[in-house]
Structure 1
């Protein structure tokens, strides 16, 4: 069984997790637009990809899957998810399982306003959200909303463009500034220029990350929870796993109603005993290693799903505290390996 990880970038740990689980019974292939991607040397084979929006990008991936008999393909990039979702059937036709949710689910997760509406529809608390500056100002004038507030892109990730405002002047400035930032960013491909900014109620409390896993038929398998202790560049930097029971209700509601495939990384904040859903990311997120190393081996669960095995459970140990650290890899070595792999592939 060979697995292809796309837009692998810095996710060395995922390549290593898949290699460990395959244990020589298959290869981990990686692709990235950056030939010197830090995760390149962690893959069994690595290939430099054309630009994400190049006309031949999907054909490039399809060819790799066909030539290397790839059993499953996973994306690690929010911008790529809509592309793979739209072309999922083309991968199935060549015998590759796209571990990707439907276009509807991907779009719902990418759009933070739709995410909030989804949460409300399944009885899950979520911050009050306003899709226009006018609606936010009306709520403030009516006394149904108070400062401070959050201003952020409606489509975005990794903490991009998030601002906090304390009064009307700051709100108006932040809204316009956030809109300009978003329109110049790669995220502009995901949404609508005239509805790019979201104003939200500020919820202060303890943040948690949930990995909620569904099988390839979108049936819930299980979930794991980590308490976020510190963040860096929009990702969890330090966390401790916690018991899952207090989150059983919110995880069950999301897993049953969302209909996602594989993992969904959920951001939840707890205030005065009430859990609020902030965001959904239908992929392995930056916080996954914390639950993986505590025993919630969703990579193994996923590979077993690809093999057609059912009846799995997600188990892990609470109270495992971990933090991320960095180490250096030679770009020269990565580039040299990349050239050698390209030559052998030819």
Structure 2
């Protein structure tokens, strides 16, 4: 039996990841910064560990190494971008022990995790994909777009640090206070978010793409209701982009669909997206096929069935009884 480590068990995609790994016969180890009883999925793995936050890089890596050695981990599935960032530049320890990090190659991630570099890459390499003009705040002498404009960290996730600037007064204040080495600026494009879930492998070469439009979403970008449909041109261009980037396994491309029907590329999530389970429910197990990419097994073909609306609900679980909890602030 192979053993997989799922990091950040509180990630929205953890539920479908556990379900798929169970079907594949994996022993599942999970970890999180919160106590086991605080996260339902932490209670559903075979073995759970509480770990330091990834921001505490040295202690986080040490703890992950200890878990890998104690539990004889074969595959590591990082669930959030900041974990991927850290593991991406610390691959050697895992490679020396034949532990597979289930993430794209370093060269791909170095492009993907910098929104400015990625926008420039798409403009140069993928003429079929419409990127959004993107400038580093430090390079802007005079704003060339009308308000509102979008400002966000070049390496951000889950809308953290996202700002909409609506007038010159707000812009002047933002320029004075924001970190010019971190923030990028883009014109605002109105329209719904559209996701293309991708799985790609090199040998044999295959790329699978499925499209969904977000109908209802939380402020932090977690969709609760989506419309799954087929757009052959968008999916073909997304496959080309996946090939150019040389991604491996599952990634998620995010677009804005404007009122004229043009898709504008926003960013790439180099992991299971929060809406990954929607695509799985639509007929293609992205988690299983992601794993096949790292197990030297051929991924399955995807046969689109029909358009559908899929919605998720929240469900409550009792994870512990007769237990005391220390005083502390609410976690967000």
Structure-1-length-normalised TM-score: 0.82
- 1:111 and 2:114 aligned: yes
Paired position in structure 2 for 1:299: 287
C-alpha distance in structure 2 between counterparts of 1:116 and 1:218, whole Å: 28
Paired position in structure 2 for 1:67: 70
Asked whether the 8 Å contact 2:293–2:299 carries over to 1, the reply is no
Match of 1:201 among 187, 191, 208: 187
* Deviation per residue, 1:23-55 (Å, 9 max, x gap): xx3211111121234120121221112332242
Paired position in structure 1 for 2:170: 170
Paired position in structure 1 for 2:247: 260
Structure 1 unaligned regions, length at least 5: 180-192, 337-346
Q: What pairs up with 1:267-286 in 2 under 5 angstroms?
A: 267-271=254-258, 272-286=260-274
Paired residues, what number? 315
Match of 1:243 among 230, 253, 258: 230
| Pair 1:132–1:90, CA change in 2 (3 A) | same
C-alpha distance in structure 2 between counterparts of 1:33 and 1:91, whole Å: 22
C-alpha distance in structure 2 between counterparts of 1:289 and 1:133, whole Å: 39
| Pair 1:175–1:210, CA change in 2 (3 A) | farther
C-alpha distance in structure 2 between counterparts of 1:286 and 1:230, whole Å: 13
- SS of the residue 1:332 aligns to: coil
1:217 shift after superposition: 6.6
1:243 shift after superposition: 0.7
Structure-2-length-normalised TM-score: 0.85
1:321 shift after superposition: 1.2
| Pair 1:105–1:307, CA change in 2 (3 A) | closer
- Aligned Cα root-mean-square deviation (Å): 2.5
* Deviation per residue, 1:37-87 (Å, 9 max, x gap): 412012122111233224243233233223323221110111111211122
Structure 2 unaligned regions, length at least 5: 325-332
- SS of the residue 1:325 aligns to: coil
